[in-house]
Amino acid sequence: MINTETETAVTVSKKYFDVNKIREDFPILRKKVHNKNLVYLDNAATTQKPEFVINKINEYYTTMNSNIHRGVHALSQTATEAYERARIQIKQFINALGKNQIIFTRGTTEAINLVASSYGRANIKEGDEIIISHMEHHSNIVPWQLLCKEKNAKLRIIPINDNGELIFKEFEKLVNEKTKFISVVYVSNSLGTINPVKRIINYAHQFNIPVLLDGAQAVNHLKVDVQDLDCDFLAFSGHKIYGPTGIGALYGKVELLDAMPPYMGGGDMISKVTFEETTYNELPHKFEAGTPDIAGAIGLGAAIEYVSNIGIENIIEHETSLLEYSTKQVSEIPGLKIIGDAKEKAGVLSFVLENIHPHDIGTLLDFEGVAIRTGHHCTQPLMQRFNIPATSRASFAMYNTKEEIDVLVNGLKKTIKVFG
Ligand code: PLP
């Protein structure tokens, strides 16, 4: 048994926030796009990776590549230790009680599908109801829709107001004896709204209804403490918190995870296999069938270490100032309307410009070196709610600066000129 619990994290930098120093850690930020400095404001889609993370992945492939958990040889032991250490880093980062509550997945999408397929199939019956909100990412709509179709259950939707905030009173009205599960986004990727998830969880637990939080945009912008929140499940993706793509995690309460059937069958998730019957491995391995993304997990662990050493509080403070500054700057642009004006908001700025399609805005900004996202952001029902086909979205990360926001604003002004 490998005990990595006692290992301490390597210190990357002091808890002192210097955005210019941080930018030096991200090699891609030195890149030119169309001969302009890259201004990367598409962080809600995916964040850039610091050299520390890139080096850890490189180190894995150059010094320890081998399969985990099964080998007695030195490489396998080292790789297993590094992989399990990443699990502990996640456990500490979200303040889970045990590392067996952290299941590696491909990301948020797979984590939600895991719960919908495993917990959902075992517990949801005909006539039951599952509550989600109007601002969910498709990843937190479609898995529940599939489950409801299969079980003849009903999906109920928490409405939102014109500012892009959940209407709590309407949520309370939706909860009834048929409600068997609630799955809500913590921070909206399209609006930046920070939802009152603790309040939702408290209310749901009065009726013994489990709550899953889609934390894809939360772990990188907020201090997430699963014990304090008392959520039953939390899903997130590594690539949105400066880690690699294709890796993420599901946190779950032990009693729920223990009672859930496996999601996928294969190697590593078993205890004993005969043709007649198979018994399953203990948590978390029961849910990790097959060879996992070992390098990805190690990369995610490194990303969490990097973020922890910068200090999530410092990141929040910096991103809040960027959001305030950018909101003020774009508000002065005639014909620009911000979509999503919640009181509690994280670093996402979605907007529409009168008579200019978001794709045209995105294309012209690209010529200025500015990367933003345009489209429905995988939240089509939310776009329908605001009666728009798409928005332009700038989303911030710890390495963004006010000067970059100025470049964005100037680019928007140029765009307006071009379109008359
Ligand atoms: N949920 C939210 C709020 C998101 O922003 C995203 C990605 O944009 C997802 C879920 C899906 O994440 P992934 O594609 O990494 O599984």
List of the chain residues with pLDDT < 70: 1-15
Catalytic pick among 33, 378, 383, 388: 378
**Can you give the pLDDT at residue 91?**
98
What string of DSSP letters covers 365-416? HHHTTEE-EEE-TT-HHHHHHTT-S-EEEEE--TT--HHHHHHHHHHHHHHH
Q: Count the residues in the chain.
A: 420
Could you tell me if the CB of 189 is within 6 A of ligand 1?
A: yes
Please state the domain extents for the chain: 56-308, 311-418
Distance in Å, CA 140 to ligand 1 centroid = 9
- Reference 375, options 364, 355, 365, 361; nearest CA is 361
Residue nearest to atom 6 of ligand 1 (CA): 216
User: Which ranges in 94-153 belong to alpha helices (H)?
Assistant: 108-115, 121-123, 142-151
349-354 long-range Cβ contacts below 8 angstroms, 24+ apart: 349/192, 349/323, 349/393, 349/394, 349/395, 349/396, 350/190, 350/191, 350/192, 350/377, 350/391, 350/392, 350/393, 351/391, 351/392, 351/393, 352/388, 352/390, 352/391, 352/392, 353/392, 353/412, 353/415, 353/416
Query: Parallel, antiparallel, or unpaired: how do β-strands 36-37 and 348-353 relate?
Result: unpaired
Task: State the chain's maximal CA–CA distance in angstroms.
Answer: 73
Q: What b/e string do you get for 55-92 counting C-beta neighbours within 10 Å, with b at 16 or more?
A: ebbeebeeebebebbeeeeeebebbbbbbbbbbbbbbb
Ligand 1 atom nearest to CA at 377 = 8
Ligand 1 atom nearest to CA at 240 = 15
Q: Across 194-242, where does the E strand assignment appear? A: 211-214, 233-237
Ligand 1 atom nearest to CA at 239 = 15
Ligand 1 atom nearest to CA at 108 = 16
Distance in Å, CA 72 to ligand 1 centroid = 37
- Reference 329, options 401, 275, 383, 263; nearest CA is 401
Rounded CA separation 342/254 (Å): 34
Q: 56-308, which class in CATH?
A: alpha beta
User: Which ranges in 230-291 belong to alpha helices (H)?
Assistant: 254-259
247 is written with which tokens?
Answer: 């890796």
**Can you give the pLDDT at residue 420?**
74
Using the structure block, give the residue that is written with the tokens 């892009």: 164
241 is written with which tokens?
Answer: 């918190």
Could you tell me if the CB of 137 is within 6 A of ligand 1?
A: yes
User: Which ranges in 163-196 belong to alpha helices (H)?
Assistant: 168-174
Distance in Å, CA 413 to ligand 1 centroid = 30
Residue 308: left if φ>0, alpha if ψ -120 to 50, beta else—which one?
Answer: alpha
What's the pLDDT tens digit per position in 40-96? 999 999 999 999 999 999 999 999 999 999 889 999 999 999 999 999 999 999 999
Residue nearest to atom 4 of ligand 1 (CA): 216
Rounded CA separation 363/40 (Å): 14
Could you tell me if the CB of 216 is within 6 A of ligand 1?
A: yes
Indicate the CATH number for domain 311-418: 3.90.1150.10
Rounded CA separation 262/349 (Å): 39
Q: What b/e string do you get for 120-143 counting C-beta neighbours within 10 Å, with b at 16 or more?
A: beeebeeebbbbbbbbbbebbbbb
- Mark whether 378 is an active-site residue: yes
Total Cβ atoms within 10 A of residue 269: 19
Distance in Å, CA 43 to ligand 1 centroid = 12
Ligand 1 atom nearest to CA at 111 = 16
Q: What is the pTM of this model?
A: 0.96
**Can you give the pLDDT at residue 8?**
42
Could you tell me if the CB of 136 is within 6 A of ligand 1?
A: no
**Can you give the pLDDT at residue 6?**
40
User: Cα-flanking dihedrals φ and ψ of residue 90, to 5°?
Assistant: -65, -45
Total Cβ atoms within 10 A of residue 30: 10
**Can you give the pLDDT at residue 9?**
42
Distance in Å, CA 214 to ligand 1 centroid = 8
Distance in Å, CA 44 to ligand 1 centroid = 8
**Can you give the pLDDT at residue 15?**
56
Rounded CA separation 19/401 (Å): 7
What's the pLDDT tens digit per position in 122-134? 999 999 999 999 9
Could you tell me if the CB of 373 is within 6 A of ligand 1?
A: no
